[in-house]
Chain A
Amino acid sequence: MDSNNDEALDIIVTNVVATFRTRCHLNLRTIALEGNNVIYKPEVGKVLMKLRKPKITASIWSSGKIICTGATSEVEAKLGARRLARCLQKLGFKVRFSAFKVVNVLAVCSMPFAVHLIDFTKNNRPIASYEPELHPAATYRIKHLKATIQVFSTGSITVTGPNVQNVATAVEQVYPLLFECQKPLCK
């Protein structure tokens, strides 16, 4: 992954969002009354269940669709999802773990240099957009990877994509563009 530079750039995955289905109807009231570490939100119609290890928050809907957030890797997300399904099984529902899919991966990375956002936007005109009145970062969207990169003027970037591989590729792609527009250090 460090074909562009001598030192390795640390890409830290901070959040992985995954969904799966239990193939059976879930009674939210039962889960809310008998489950451990649950928060019932009747106005929205879901139950939040938080697992301690791996640290995951799951939104459970009565249709049986569940969204898991908070994992730090794809493997962890799958582990957490399976553990959650087991918890629901213990509560008495006929749960069948199916259709597990990682939907979103969020990663952060820090460049060893500051970036001049105006030059960066000018060089990558239609792909990059920068509206300082709305958000202090410039947004760079890679269509074929379906990844969005937000570049801050300090050199930190956040990358969101459908899986970890895409995120890594996105960082590799954007690194040379950022390197061109780096800010000199003294200012």
Chain B
Amino acid sequence: MSRVALKCPNCGSSNVVEDDLYAQSQSVCVDCGSVVSEGFLANDPVGEVYYSHSAPQSKRPCSNLIKGLQRVRALCRVLRVNSEIEKLSQTYFEQAYNHKSFINVSLTKKEALAGSCVLISCRMHDWPVTVGTIAYLIDTDSGAVGAVYQETLNTLNICIPTLTELAAEAKELTKRALALVELAADSWIVTGRRPVPIMIAATYLSWQSLQPTKLRLKMTLDKFCQMTKVDKNRPAMKRVTEIKEMLCKLGNEIPWEKQEITPNNVIQQVEDILSYRFALMRKALKSYEDSLKADIQQCDAKNKKTMRTKTAELKTSSKTGSSVLETERANNGACDEPNWGKRLLFAPPCVVNPKKRKRAPSNQINVTGDEEISDSEIDSYIRTHQEVREIAMTQKLLCQESDNL
């Protein structure tokens, strides 16, 4: 009960006592009960008031801005862009977020803003990311993302080096490669094969045919793969040759081409072939059928001559009619194609180049029926008693089951 301070600021009474109720000593006024001070009464005027946790000064950025920045960073990581693009997109997002057109907008729109900032910075650095990808990552529709994208461009006054020549070429390239793959599918090159080598082959050929300069024609598939940073692929080379053969067959049907189309000079004709591919395919199939018919007629003519001579011979010999039929079939087989693959213009490569299986020479066994059968062999044919009993039991069980059912 010692008088520590002089006066209580609340009521002016000088009856202030020190109280040790809590861990800290407090000076409490007896009359009004107000706590004068913790520790001792400070005589300086109550000036600086520090609010530590209750009402933060707005020096900290908005929490949605921080979340948005984290979203931007997450998008960049998912798309695996380099650090420059990441930083640029973050700066864009901060600028755009604090602009009046985006500060009071819904959270979904703010997410779309994050996506469009990433998109803009990718476009500035020529990194190919589509609006569709961003829309998918943010889970909104691409129209909304597109609208926000345009608004952001207007707000930040950015000029994007839109759609350089390379990008335009890329579109033409994809169109051409698609057409080539469709043609390949029609001519049995695609069925049953892995897709990646076919894609590489189609892209390589369409790139060459877009501008068939000497430089491009000379570049081999390996160098092309190196240039485009794609792994080397051995089947791709085979596909390239197959597609080129197919293109030659079609190219030979072009009416205004006087020279023979070989795999060497087919690339220059690829553009024409692709634009008229349906007509050329029909023409090629028709002319192949006609040539086959002509062949068959020739064979028939030949056959008739040989048949006449052979029947004359056979009449003299005592062989049966079946052997006549065999010789007929053999003759026809030699004239028609040995496998159905050659009867069609385009057939699966496994049919056109069949693997010749080596057959072991079949030993002609003449069986008469009077051969010696050894005793052990006869024993192996006769059932033992044990086997007879087991068979009887299983038969009984089977009969019981069928009766129960």
Q: List residues of chain A with CB under 8 Å of any chain B CB.
A: 118, 121-122, 125-126, 129-134
Contacts and interface: CB of A to CB of B under 8 A. Distances in A.
Nearest to B145: A134
The secondary-structure label for the interface of chain A is: loop
A142 to B, nearest CB: 16
A118 B142 contact: no
Range of interface residues on B (Cβ < 8 Å) = 10 to 19
Interface of B: 130-132, 142-143, 146, 149-150, 153, 159, 162-163, 168
Nearest to B143: A134
A133 B142 contact: yes
The secondary-structure label for the interface of chain B is: helix
Contact of A126 (B146, B159, B168): B159
B163 A133 contact: no
A134 B162 contact: no
Nearest to B146: A134
Contacts of B159: 125-126
Given A133-B146, A134-B142, A134-B146, A122 B131 contact: no
Given A118-B163, A121-B163, A126-B159, A133 B168 contact: no
20 contacts: A118-B163, A118-B168, A121-B162, A121-B163, A122-B162, A125-B159, A126-B159, A129-B150, A130-B162, A130-B163, A131-B149, A132-B163, A133-B130, A133-B131, A133-B132, A133-B142, A133-B146, A134-B131, A134-B142, A134-B143
A132 B162 CA distance: 11
A153 to B, nearest CB: 11
A129 B160 CA distance: 10
Contact of B146 (A118, A125, A131): A131
A46 B162 CA distance: 44
A147 B321 CA distance: 92
A133 to B, nearest CB: 4
Nearest to B147: A134
Contacts of A131: 131, 146, 149-150
